[in-house]
Chain A
Amino acid sequence: MWVNNFLILGAILFCIGVYGVIARKNAVMVLMAIELILNSVNLNLLAFSQMHHNADGNVFALYIIAVAAAEVGVGLSMVLLIYRNRRSIALDELSEMKG
């Protein structure tokens, strides 16, 4: 089986995720698109891990899963805080930090 199969699938998912980050206004939907990106990277790592028959790819895939879990926890609590203060999580209305 070609390695390229998995690498191209990862590239497609990555680009769909990037589109989601650019296009979405709802903060929760942006976090979902970021999850797509992280998953596509994991797919690449595991494909290379199996290609070279080396455990390093599996190790870093596990680390990325852990980092993604931490990122979602902090991200969603920030979204909840923003919602509590502004009654809205539309990202284009958040302009307090504009210079």
Chain B
Amino acid sequence: MSRSRLPGARVPHWKGTAQMAPRRMPVPPEVAIPMSMNIGAPAKPVVKPGDEVKVGQLIAEAGGFVSSPIYASVSGKVKRIDEMLGSNGRFMPAVVITSDGEQTVYEGIAPPEVTDLQSFLAAVRDSGVVGLGGAGFPTAAKLTVKDNSLIKYIIVNGAECEPYVTSDTRTMLDDAPYVMKGVELLKKYLGDPKVIIGIEDNKPQCIKRFNELNTAGLAEIHPLPSLYPQGGEKVLIYNTTGRIVPEGGLPIDAGAIVINCTTLAFIAKYMETGMPLVEKVVTVDGSAVKTPDNVIVPIGTPMSAVFEFCGGFKSEPRKVFYGGPMMGIAVPTLDAPIMKNTNAIVALDDKDAHIPEPTACIRCGLCIDHCPLNLMPVEIHEAYEKRDGAMLETLKVNLCMECGCCSFVCPARLNHVQTHKLAKNVLRAYQAEQKAAAEKKKAAEEAKKEAAAK
């Protein structure tokens, strides 16, 4: 298939932890499990302070269709249900559990009975799994499609294009058989679509591992160029199948479903053990961290405990974020908990945390050349400065996935992603205004017609 490749940015790899098999950290004395760890509705707590809980016991049920249940990650006693500051700057409820250090497993843990699509989706839902690559979209909701025949491709995302992050790499090296089992499950219950496993070519070990396991030809192993952001959903779908997700549409509108490799491996494991999502492999890295590593962390563990497990800091951390440096979310405090969709935590030292002062745009067009979605950040910037909603609509800032390529390459150090986030608000306000005006006009016309009819 000959088609032009979507552009992107050559970001550094910094995957120094790729060869480090995850180590289990000691149980923290206390975990604070947020009720919003997924896109969609938050979960509703079903425990109250004073309750004894065990590992894998339900503590919050799904708050809607696009939501996911939450399970205790430690055994112990529920201390309180509290509001805590989330990484999005909003307060959200969290269940705080004091650990007894025993990690007693809940008696009710048993492999789910899966016989058909409905029971498969129910099991995925009960497992508490959400998109573990970082997005946190409830997987069961993603796999629920009107008609399975719509699914032409399932793409397993092993791109892991963000610098530093190697937790997916570890999944592909340590749990590749589970990924393949997951592929089997998906093929079995979702109408036997074509499965493609996309892996950036900076992980030859992973590609080799899957080629070895894929003797039956269950999936197509698709090496991707190491060009950020290969793991972006739309980019991945296009680069593996040539299909284009239309504006405002979902991957399924292009006949595709994208699932992260760690998510898939987890589902396969869950089908064997019945242990829901209570812990996560997290890459710990960054210039302020003493010994970068991959760590198995109970969900709800404060970042500070995880950093401590990695030998603490070699210099004072000045910026700490969830995920990789291109799209990671900065946190205001080290109390921030490890969540379901945390794949990495990075702490930067004073030098690396420095935010360069933006200078004047020199209209070089690098932001346009490197935008995977062919947007024009420089023009969006101008339209935003003028609060020009109509122009922002023409420029389609709504399509921006905030991958950060434009900011990364900008010689003037402009904060394009920040501008795009703000511009999206301007566009939404403009569109709401337009809609209201149109409705008003329509109502006025109808009133006129009625008056004329009388």
A binds B: no
Residues in chain A within 8 A of chain B (CB atoms): none
